[in-house]
Amino acid sequence: MSAGMKTPENAVAVVGTDTGVGKTVVTAGLVGWLREEGYDARAIKPVQTGYPPDDDAAFVAEACGTDRAATCCRRLEPALAPAVAATVADEPLSYDSLLENVAAELDAATPGVVEGIGGLRVPLADGRDVLDLVADLGVPAVVVARSGLGTLNHTALSVSALRRRGVDVTGIVLNQYDGASLAERTNPDALAEMVDFPIHTLPSFSVAEPSAAVSAVSAALPRSIFDEILPTDRV
């Protein structure tokens, strides 16, 4: 953290093994779940690329039925990693500013859910990446991954990277889990042995109505994923 910044007390990061693995869906589900329980939860997207077609904060807000449920600190048009998108768009992008803005938004949320950008090593700015941001914020993380073939390697490497930086992993979610292939059916147990951590599965469902994410996540995932970051007061 930068000098004078405090570690957020009521916050969690939702990170992914890659882009398109379901971070936004899980983020929307967690924030909506928390808001239904009376918390003033809010999703924070540090930077959105591919905007306006891609707008993760807008999806979360729609899923939760209120603009207060999500915010985005910075938007860039090129659908690229933030550091690359800023260069292509010829726009300034500062890692320290991103870190400070996210920390300020987390301080105003009770609790806050930071949604990552792509995978952990996606470059943000100034030689820093998503992993740096999560570690510098000092918040625990939920890892979202694909359910099928290839997820063992990607997920185990992501968990190892987080642990090396001292980030507490509070949950691993295999998204769009239908058990349709042998790899899918064996992956949860195999991964649990590799990382020595319980694995949770989130079945496929339609996101045509974003609010479906809230009911799906609350039905599939255990409350322990966010218990340790809940404030004592509700709205």
In this prediction, what percent of the chain has a pLDDT beyond 90? Answer: 90
Q: Please say if the pLDDT value at position 3 is more than 90.
A: no
* Per-residue model confidence (pLDDT) at position 23: 98
Q: What does the pLDDT read at residue 234?
A: 80
45 is a catalytic site residue: yes
Fold of the domain spanning 11-222: Rossmann fold (3.40.50)
**Does the structure show a pLDDT above 90 at 6?**
no
- 32 in a labelled binding site: no
- Report residue 123: phi and psi, to 5°: -70, 130
The angle, 0 to 180 degrees and rounded to 10, between the axes of the packed helices 212-220 and 56-64 is 80
pLDDT above 70 for 4: no
Rg (CA), the chain: 17
Q: Is 175 strand, coil or helix?
A: strand
Per-residue pLDDT reduced to its tens digit, 14-65:
999 999 999 999 999 999 999 999 999 999 999 999 999 999 999 999 999 9
Please tell me whether 25 is known to bind a ligand: yes
**In 3-94, alpha helices (H):** 23-36, 56-64, 82-89
195 φψ region: left (φ > 0), alpha (ψ -120 to 50), beta (else): alpha
List pLDDT tens digits, range 99-138.
999 999 999 999 999 999 999 999 999 999 999 999 999 9
- Percentage of the residues of the chain whose pLDDT score is greater than 70: 97
Q: Which residues contact 30 (CB under 8 A, 6 or more apart)?
A: 12, 14, 41, 113, 142, 217, 221, 225, 226
Residue 25 C-alpha from the chain's centroid: 9
Instruction: For residue 208, give every residue at least 6 positions away whose Cβ sits within 8 Å of its Cβ, in sequence order, or none.
Output: none
48 labeled part of a ligand binding site: no
Q: What is the pLDDT of residue 175?
A: 98
Query: What pLDDT, on a 0 to 100 scale, did the predictor assign at position 231?
Result: 85
Q: Dihedral of CA 71/75/80/86: which sign?
A: negative
Any known ligand binding at 101?
Answer: no
20 assigned to a ligand binding site = yes
What mean pLDDT do residues 67-79 have?
98
Say whether 29 counts as a known binding-site residue.
no
The catalytically annotated residue of 45, 74, 128, 146 is 45
